[in-house]
Amino acid sequence: MSPSNRLTIRRPDDWHLHLRDGDMLATVIGDSARHFARAIVMPNLVPPVRTAKDALAYRRRIEAVIPEGSGFQPLMTLYLTEDSDPDDVTAAHRDGVAVAVKLYPAGATTNSDSGVRDLDRVRPVLEAMEKAGMPLLIHGEVTDPDIDIFDREAVFIERHLTRLMADHPGLKVVLEHCTTADAVGFVEAAGGRLGATITPHHLVINRNAIFQGGIRPHHYCLPIAKRERHRLALRRAAVSGNPAFFLGTDSAPHPIHAKEAACGCAGIYNAPTALATYAQVFAEEGALDRLEGFASLHGPAFYGLAPNAARLTLEAAPADAEPDRALADGGGLHVFTPPGGLSWRVAEAG
State the Cα–Cα distance between residues 39 and 75, nearest whole angstrom: 6
Q: DSSP assignment, residue 219?
A: G
Residues 167 and 107: their CA atoms lie apart, in Å, by: 24
Report helix, strand or coil for 87.
helix
Taking each helix axis from N to C end, the angle separating 123-132 and 86-94, rounded to the nearest 10 degrees, works out to 20
Q: Which residues contact 230 (CB under 8 A, 6 or more apart)?
A: 179, 180, 181, 206
Helix ranges, the chain (H): 22-35, 52-63, 86-94, 123-132, 152-156, 162-167, 181-189, 201-204, 228-238, 256-259, 274-284, 291-292, 298-303
Q: How far apart are CA 92 and CA 89, in angstroms?
A: 5
- Residue 51: CB atoms within 10 Å: 20
The residues that are catalytic are 250
Q: Rounded to the nearest 5 degrees, what angle is found at the Cα of 318, between the Cα atoms of 312 and 321?
A: 90
For 241-278, give one letter per residue: b (16+ CB within 10 A) or e: ebebbbbbbbbbbbbbeebeeeebbbbbbbbbbbbbbb
How many CA atoms are closer than 13 Å to the CA of 101, on its beta-carbon side? 34
Rounded to whole angstroms, the Cα distance separating 194 from 173 reads 5
Number of H helices, E strands in the chain: 13, 13
